[in-house]
A and B are shown apart, each in its own frame.
Chain A
Amino acid sequence: MPSVPLASRSPELVSSAIDIRAVSHQFSLSGSKLPVIDAIDFSVVPGEFVALLGPSGCGKSTLLRLIAGLELPSNGSILADGLPVIRPDPSRILVFQDPTLFPWTTVWKNVATGLEARGVLKQSHARVDAALSLVGLSEFAAAYPHQLSGGMAQRASLARALVNDPKLLLLDEPLGKLDSLTRLTLQAELVRLWQRNGFTAILVTHDVEEALLLSSRIVVLSERPARVKAEFQFGKPYPRHRDDPELVALRRRILDTLGLAT
């Protein structure tokens, strides 16, 4: 594998600090206002892996879009490394539940999109190759997205994010549509990539176990409009196991918080 600095530098260079300050957001639906986020406050330190957990439709994905800068919050502010987020930036990359690869071009070109858009592709061909090999897709560089399986497509979309050396990776249920075996593999892979590259990660999921396997802190959100309901620290070293008693105990407490305990 070519040695290209896709990672391994000092933490403040490779990861972002995020401050979410009293953020509220509402949608306009045919004239009336629909509040989706209600005064959320929390911070993420550089290099942290935070999971946002909450019932579906609670506004988790909207919060990620706000952090990515795709939309501006109705109230409050979001700071990335102390600067307000007002537009998308390749240092903060959002990975969607659907791979959303461009179907009209090859996997290689898809991964190269960010570099090409910023006009730096010419000098960084090796980076694209490295990103593809990082997710194990070197042999599929020339394939078209419709030739990939769901898991491979999601890997390609991860490579498309990582090639830009993001300081913050926002994951919007990236494994939500995959079959359970592919899911397990990619969960381990996400941890590996996070540990290797050192970026800050915020994962939106409604799978408690996934949150516990991946993240060092879990923020539980309420039903819409989303509010922070509880926070859990989980410092267990990786790789974690789903039948680990500590993990099982914490899962029970979290499900309790969500009102889903059995």
Chain B
Amino acid sequence: MSEAQALDGAAQAQLTSFRRLWRDGFFAAFSWGAAALVTIGLPDVVPWGSAGLFAAITGALAVLFVLLSPVVYRLGRAGEVMIHYGPWLVAIGVWLALWELSTAKSGWLPKPFFSPPHGLLNVYVADGTRLLICIGYTLRLWSLGFLSGVAVGYATGVALGWSKRFSYWGMPFLKLIGPVPATAWIPCTFYFFPTTFGASVFIVALASGIPVAILTASGVGSVNRSFYDVGRILGADNRYLIRRVAIPASLPHVFVGLFMALYYSFAVLVVAEMLGAKYGLGWYIQFQTAYSGYANVYAALIIMAALCAGIVRLLFVVRDRLLRWQEGFI
């Protein structure tokens, strides 16, 4: 192909990108518009509140999709993301419309066990402040527990992996305690901790500390011996070998432990918040379940899911940064 032809082709491609319309955007606008119409047009069997607000939000998004469809191919990175998730946007609109129909509009899935989307929205509107306080309490408990657990677990893991004597005495304990669910320690934590908050932090710390300790120990223990030989030849003492060889070399293992710790910590978080807490998402879920406020339970669960997913994402970002050197290996 000649250069002129190539240029011509490029111009043509540009032209088609101008003329091109985002078809999924139109479909998404259609499905989200349908959800809005269903919400506002049909009456609730039992009123849930916030139907107007929900219809306004979904309707506004439908309009936005229409407006975006001629320009989305020229929006660069953000546009690519939208195009990639186009089918999902369509599906979510369909899902919202069906959800409205099956719950609030037909009563086929009845109150209080099922809630329509605008019922959940109503929870955020009506109980938003309390939920925000709960998020704050949950994040405080989780971060104190997780960070202290990871710090202690990591230090223990390095010691277990490095020192034969420490491993001889410590490993049996870790192997014995490791498989026991952290929540089984609740009775004795009440004795050892003056406040129930302290006990809750301890449970979360224990759940996150143990996988980190085990994986760090195995990571430090499995470092290529010749790295230590190189270090010793170059005049390194034990301190240097631990800090500059054992620790960075074991980092890939440590991150596996950290991801396990994350999931364990989320799992025990709800239980830990039952220990005489006054706020927190786990407490909120318990409290609302007792009063059959299932819409509130779902609303809180959605927040928890988003928080957990966000934290997992954050850890992935940190890992990719710290383990960039692995690129050639994995």
Contacts and interface: CB of A to CB of B under 8 A. Distances in A.
Nearest to B239: A117
A71 B236 CA distance: 16
Query: Chain B interface mostly helix, strand, loop or mixed?
Result: helix
Contacts of A104: 248-249, 251, 325
Interface string B210-242: 000000000000001011011111111100100
B235 A118 contact: yes
A178 interface: no
A152 interface: no
A96 interface: yes
Contacts of B245: 102
A84 interface: no
B325 A90 contact: no
A94 B234 CA distance: 9
A146 B327 contact: yes
A117 B248 contact: no
B325 A146 contact: yes
Q: Which of A88, A96, A144, A147 has the most CB of B within 10 A?
A: A88
Contacts of B329: 103, 146
B326 interface: yes
Interface string A102-129: 1111000000011011100000000000
A100 B230 contact: yes
Size band of the interface chain B makes with A: 20 to 34
A144 B234 contact: no
Given A70-B233, A88-B232, A117-B235, A100 B226 contact: yes
Contacts of A92: 233
B187 interface: no
Nearest to B245: A102
B227 A100 contact: yes
A90 B248 contact: no
A117 B227 CA distance: 14
Contacts of B194: none
Contact of B328 (A94, A105, A113, A147): A147
A190 B322 CA distance: 35
Contact of B326 (A70, A103, A105): A103
Q: Which of B230, B233, B249 has the most CB of A within 10 A?
A: B233
A225 to B, nearest CB: 23
Contacts of A160: 234
Interface of A: 68, 70, 88-90, 92-94, 96, 98, 100, 102-105, 113-114, 116-118, 144-147, 160, 164
Given A117-B234, A117-B237, 17 more contacts: A88-B235, A89-B235, A90-B233, A90-B234, A92-B233, A93-B233, A100-B227, A100-B230, A103-B325, A103-B329, A104-B249, A105-B248, A113-B234, A114-B234, A145-B325, A146-B325, A146-B327
Lowest 10 A-B CB distances belong to which pairs?
A: A146-B328, A114-B234, A117-B236, A90-B235, A104-B248, A104-B325, A88-B232, A118-B235, A88-B233, A117-B240
Interface of B: 224, 226-227, 229-237, 240, 244-245, 248-249, 251, 324-329
12 contacts: A70-B233, A88-B235, A89-B235, A96-B229, A102-B244, A102-B245, A102-B248, A103-B328, A113-B234, A113-B244, A116-B244, A146-B327
